Amino acid sequence: DVKVTQSSRYLVKRTGEKVFLECVQDMDHENMFWYRQDPGLGLRLIYFSYDVKMKEKGDIPEGYSVSREKKERFSLILESASTNQTSMYLCASRDLPTYEQYFGPGTRLTVT
């Protein structure tokens, strides 16, 4: 069974703090994704990593950066957290060649 884990289920941070969200997958997948999900807006892609060497901006990268030092780990960084980054953050990995996506349990981040 593919397993995607995220470092925290719930997180509360203060405005201006640097926040790290970590995601680990155990199936040797090349592709990994970070999404945020907000009511009425659905899932929006923040960043995408095709492999360890390549990171691509998604639809809403502003205020975020990513790190992928190892194939199994993809980290999302909020450089200076703001209240409008309060959201559910979902990590996913993708199997090639089927292109099937697998999701982690999500991190509910609240920025106060």
Partner 1 sequence: KQEVTQIPAALSVPEGENLVLNCSFTDSAIYNLQWFRQDPGKGLTSLLLIQSSQREQTSGRLNASLDKSSGRSTLYIAASQPGDSATYLCAVPDSGGYQKVTFGIGTKLQVIP
- Which span sits near partner 1 by CB under 8 A: 11-19, 60-68, 71-79, 88-96? 88-96
In degrees rounded to 5, what are phi and psi of residue 91? -105, 145
Structure tokens at 93: 């990995």
42 near partner 1 (CB under 8 A): yes
| Burial class of residue 98 in the structure, from the number of CB atoms within 10 Å of its CB (0-12 exposed, 13-18 middle, 19+ buried) | exposed
74 near partner 1 (CB under 8 A): no
Binding site for partner 1 (CB under 8 A): 4, 33, 40-43, 45, 48, 50, 56, 58, 88, 90, 92, 98-106, 108
